[in-house]
Amino acid sequence: MSGGVDSSVAAIVLQKQGYEVIGLFMRNWDSLADGELNGPTTDSGICPQEEDYNDAKAVCDKLNIPLHRKDFVKEYWDYVFTYFLDELKNGRTPNPDIMCNKYIKFDMFAKEARKLGADYIATGHYARLVDGKLLRGIDDNKDQTYFLSQVSKEQFSNVLFPIGDMVKSDVRKIAEEYDLITAKKKDSTGICFIGERNFKNFLKNYLPNQPGDVVNIETGDVIGKHIGLMNYTIGQRKGLNIGGTKDKMFVVGKDLSKNILYISLGEDNDYLISDSCLVDNVNYLGDDKIIECSAKFRYRQKDVPVSLEWLDDGNVIVKYPQGVKAVTPGQACVFYNDEECLGGGIIKEVRKNGQKLWYL
């Protein structure tokens, strides 16, 4: 029970199906620890996690569900947030939500649930499990299989996704029918369990800014200063505040050794286009390793037709000769065969014509 509308309605669906439901709330972040100051607060003046717990408690009370609470603050730091910081230091763009699912929600949370006597764990993810296969959620706009791509087959063995065959509007309608406090609560955004905040100010608590040159990749001219490479991602065009130019510009690369941020001017440019990438840390959920499928290189992206070259070390070269814009090291590459999510891995290198792009 996260304190959101999705897990609230998941509990209702399970009760209707005849399950005995107990709630387990996770606290994974301490805003007063590890040097963070002036963390976010809600309109009521308390931190968002405490408000989420209060909302989860109110829902459980209404549904006559016992609610347990468990801290995974240290585990989240060790397995998710440290990974997040290390990736940023290496100039990559990580997705901590994916690692949170792998190490916290479907591992440590599941173990805690079993201690409470649970036979299954259930979450409010928009995804489906059918005959052991992970399928997209019915709601195309909310499908969350991308974020489940690093969860193993074994971890899925005792998992239920009660709202995976529902659309968001119907979920909210059920919550309103039950007069739940979460019925109109907005969806959470930002980093998993850390929430919405000024990202640049937040990161300064953990990684000092190292300003450096911004270079126009076409001309080699220095056109401004960046505030630290960790604050930018490939393909970014908003919030750059570089050089005072009104021309459209895109982040196309980083040079960690020289602390240079490369940008390109103009709407369409070749520097953002690649035709293959090397993917490591592959978690494959399919029965047989297929060659032709589709993939997503970021959450909101449409599926891209790809072919997979499986390497002896377990890594995969993902090929998309039609070209794709802004494929980014550190992000997840997730494989699909129609409705089935086949798992995925982490983008290690981005290539064009068989060569690693020198500016990434």
Catalytic position from the list 47, 60, 192, 293: 192
φ, ψ of residue 349 in degrees (nearest 5): -135, 145
Active site residue 47: no
Q: Cα–Cα distance between 327 and 274 in angstroms, integer?
A: 7
Q: Which residues contact 222 (CB under 8 A, 6 or more apart)?
A: 213, 214, 215
Measured between alpha carbons, how far is residue 310 from residues 39, 134, 317, 325, 355 in Å?
44, 21, 7, 23, 18
Taking each helix axis from N to C terminus, what angle separates 5-16 and 48-63, rounded to the nearest 10 degrees?
20
Catalytic position from the list 47, 60, 100, 277: 100
Name the residue among 242, 202, 237 with its Cα closest to residue 226.
Answer: 242
Residue pair 261/213 in contact (Cβ under 8 Å)? The answer is yes
Active site residue 100: yes
Residue 295 C-alpha from the chain's centroid: 16
Name the residue among 260, 193, 217 with its Cα closest to residue 4.
Answer: 193
Active site residues: 100, 192
